[in-house]
Structures are given as C-alpha cells and as structure tokens.
Amino acid sequence: MGTVALGTSGTSAADVIAVARGNARIELTDEARAALAASREIVDALAAKPDPVYGVSTGFGALASRHIGPDLRAQLQRNIVRSHAAGMGPRVEREVVRALMFLRLKTVCSGHTGVRPEVAQTMADVLNAGVTPVVHEYGSLGCSGDLAPLSHCALTLMGEGDAEGPDGALKPAGELLAAHGITPVELREKEGLALLNGTDGMLGMLIMALADLETLYKSADVTAALTLEALLGTEKVLAPELHAIRPHPGQAASAANMLAVLAGSGLTGHHQDDAPRVQDAYSVRCAPQVAGAGRDTMAHARTVAERELAAAVDNPVVLPDGRVESNGNFHGAPVAYVLDFLSIAAADLGSIAERRTDRLLDKNRSHGLPPFLADDAGVDSGLMIAQYTQAALVSEMKRLAVPASADSIPSSAMQEDHVSMGWSAARKLRTAVDNLTRIVAIELYAATRAVELREGLTPAPATQAVIEAIREAGVAGPGPDRFLAPDLAAADAFVRSGALLAAVEPVTGALA
C-alpha cells in the first residue's frame, strides 16, 4: 500500500496514482503543519478586523459585495458547502474521487489557503479510512474550481451527505466517520471556500489518463507491428535513419518499438512475392507517425500536469507577506486544453488501428489471408462483426474528440462569465481511453489470428510470445465460428491489465 508524505511543495503523478488506485496512506509533514498554522494566523487576524476580505468576511461570486458579521461566518462556510453540493447524474468512480480529494489536500498543505491544520488532518483521515464521498457526474464548469464535486467531498468532512465505506457499502457520511473515529469538521472563516476552489478533479483524471495512455500507446505499437507482419509488410520503413530526418521523439520511439517486436520475423519482407507492391498502405507504413504524434501530445500534457501538481490553486490565496489576494488561478483552461488534445490523439490512434484491422479482414487487401479470417468463409463469418464493433467504438471516439474547452456558458449572474469546461473534457477523455483499450484489443485479436494463418512462415520471437500468452489467457485462435464476445472481453482484459506488454518485453526489452 505504501505511504505518501505531503509537504508544501506539491506532489507527484506517481503519488496521485498511489493514493487514487493503490490506497496509499497519507501523512502530513511537519513542514506542512507549520505552513498551515502560519497561514491560519493571517486569516484569523484579518477576520478580527472590520474591513471586508473576500472569502473571509464576505459572500461569494456575485454575492461578494455583502459584508458578513462574525456571528454568521461559520454558517456562511457551511452554507457554501451545502449549496454547492448540487451535483446530479451517475456517481463518479472511486479512483477519481480519491484523486480529487488528495489533490485538494495537496493545495491545502501548501500554506496558501488559510485552512487550519486539523481540517487538513481530517481530509487525510477520511482518505486513509477508505471513505469515499458520493460525487456526481455533472456540476462542474471547470472554473472557480470543480465546485460541485469538491463540495460533495467537503460535505463528507462535515459529516453530511452520503459516502461509500471501504467495503463499498453506501451509508450516511456521519455514520462512516463515527465508525472510523473521525470527528466532523466545524468550518471557520475561508475554510469552506478553500475546500471547493480548485482544478483537482480534472487534474486527477488527466494524471490517470496519462498513465493509462502510456500503456496503451506501447500496446498499439505492438499490435501495429503484428498487423504489419501478418500483412507480409516491410519493416524497412521503421529504420531509425528514416525517422532521424524528421526528428519528432515520439515518432522515433514508436518506430523503434515496432522494429523491436519484428526482430527475427520470417513474415516481413514478402511484399514483393506473389503480388508485388512498392509500399504498404498508410495505416501500416505511417503507424509511427500517428502514434508518435500522440506520444508527443502526451509529453506536452505531462508538462502541464507537472506544473499543476506544483501549484496552489485557490481564491483568495494567502501570500507569505501576509496579504490575502484574489486571483484567477482556478480557471481550468491549461488543463482543459490538454484533456481535449489527448481525446483527439486517442481518437486518431483508434482510427488507424481500425483501418489496419479492416485490411486484415479484406481478402482483396490482405495478401492471401482468408476473407474475414474465417475458417470456412461463407459458412463462417470470422471476425466480420468484431470489426463492426471496433468501427462503432471509433465512431464514438470521434464524437468524444469534439473539444469541451471550446464551449463556455456564463454563470453566477455573469460574474463567472467565461468557464473552461475542463471537468467535462476529463470525463469524455476517460471514456475515450476506455474505448481505445477495446479498439487495440480487437486489432490484437485479429492480428494474432492472421499471423497464425500464415502457414509455413515463422513469426518474430516477440510475436510468438504474444500469441502464446494470449492463448494461455483464454483467447481462442483460428477455427470455426464461436461465441465471440467472451474472446473479445478476454483480449480487452489482456491489454488493459498490461499482460500484452508483460508478454512482449522479456523478448524485446522495455519498450519506449
């Protein structure tokens, strides 16, 4: 399980994954506790003065002009949480909620929010207990923070609303806190606002998507290589000297991966045999260019994520010189743009994979393979409808590639008149990543069957390792028609779990 220590200088993507997916425990460092106490002293001093300070002694958003007296400030902070916990729709996945809470705690520990140390400790205690607030799909515009999602998390800290226990059972949050010996927080000046005002949900989903896409892009290089091999294509287009003259690093890495998979193949280089062809089709020949561009997009997105992980996103913020200043750092545009960009890249990777699959199934373009890779074409339909499923997934990927961040709907009586829609960009990227996994799995299913149908030719050692591993995983090889959905589900699990890379990398070495 491990332990993650939170200080004042942000956190890492690996720590986010460890908490969100690995249930790592969280400890607050002495540095963080000291910074929390110091910034709280500043807020308390400002709260004692008669001058209104936004977030401390005023209303919020379009209601910021009203000065709130000391007797109503605790109610003000409770009210902002309750009123903003207005999400609707399906529940968000547990890992997303844990990432959301952990990243908000990361900013709280920076010492720029004015939150008391005991509130931060309660956030850590809730996460460590495995208590997960109920957060709903809709409610964030990606500006002024992921307001509704974070509000539902803050509601749990107050012992209100519903949450999921470590056993997965849904119960009132107050009961779950009591069962784990956690005292609900009584919010004071600025604390309710500080718990709501961040880009934490979209950032958490970006970090997890990048982790998943890193595995998927390597997996797609493997399946592209297997398809090239099954089509008797040429590996000469993968030569490093060709990619060096167009020096995109992602392209070079993808080509190197494919070349490593194809090393020692007895199938490649037969494109001049019975039906000579000068070049392979774009979907085969340009695989490194497309996958490489996606890899470079991921590199840019990773840079944005690293900057956000080092950031303290709140409004207002407590500065080291004692000022509490309003700002616009909660705007989600930097994260929203790369979330949308990744959806575009993922859609294109899915599209080129589907085109390769279709080529494997078409007797007019597969260079000697049976129609639809069927055992007895006509009696058997082979993988015809597997490609339909893949095409349906690709079609949805294209719809998901439409940018959310290009939209903006004003809110809060035109005070918040431009928003990022970053949460929506993140939600559709999660669906895109899920679909891309299935698309790659279908290409893998088709390519392994096609290679096995090339009788008399010896595949590359890496390809043979993949075929043996996927057959051991319960995915059937060539033969008469059978109930196909279980095979496709098993292929999906094979890719999703990382088993494909685990099969190939002992032969090829670690893929880039």
H-helix or E-strand spanning residue 133: strand 132-133
54, 138, 217, 388: the active-site residue = 54
Output DSSP code: residue 3.
Answer: E
Which residues, in sequence order, are CB contacts of 87 under 8 Å at separation 6+? Answer: 135, 136, 137, 138, 139, 148, 149, 151, 152
User: 198: which 2 tokens?
Assistant: 């961040």
Output the pLDDT for position 305.
98
Helix (H) or strand (E) holding 171: strand 170-172
C-alpha to C-alpha distances, 29 to 8, 15, 122, 136, 144, nearest whole angstrom: 9, 15, 14, 32, 28
Report the pLDDT averaged over residues 6-30: 97
pLDDT at res. 54: 79
**In this predicted model, what pLDDT tens digit does every residue of 69-107 receive, in sequence order?**
888 888 989 999 999 999 999 999 999 999 999 999 999
> How many whole angstroms separate alpha carbon 482 and alpha carbon 486?
10
The pLDDT value recorded for residue 61 is: 67
Could you give the residue ranges of the DSSP H alpha helices within 263-401? 282-285, 287-309, 333-361, 384-400
Nearest to 439 by CA among 291, 257, 261, 233: 291
Looking at 48-62, 147-161, 427-441, which range is the least confident one? Answer: 48-62
The per-residue pLDDT for 275 is 58
Amino acid, single-letter form, for residue 382: G
Question: Over the stretch 119-141, which tens digit does the pLDDT of each residue have?
Answer: 999 999 999 999 999 999 999 99
| Token digits of residue 347 | 């859609």
- Structure confidence at residue 377 (pLDDT): 96
d(CA 352, CA 373): 19
- For 241-264, the pLDDT digits (tens) are 999 999 999 999 999 999 999 999
Six-digit token string for 75: 């109610």
Peptide bond between residue 316 and the one before it cis (omega within 30 degrees of 0):
yes
Residue 249's φ and ψ, nearest 5 degrees, are: -60, -35
Alpha-carbon gap, residue 271 to 265, rounded angstroms: 14
Instruction: Tell me: pLDDT of 62 over 90.
Output: no
> What 3-state DSSP class applies to 305?
helix
* Per-residue model confidence as pLDDT tens digits over 191-244: 999 999 899 999 999 999 999 999 999 999 999 999 999 999 999 999 999 999
54 is catalytic: yes
DSSP 416: B
pLDDT above 80 for 463: yes
* Single-letter amino acid code for the residue at 94: R
Confidence category of residue 509, pLDDT binned at 50, 70, 90: very high
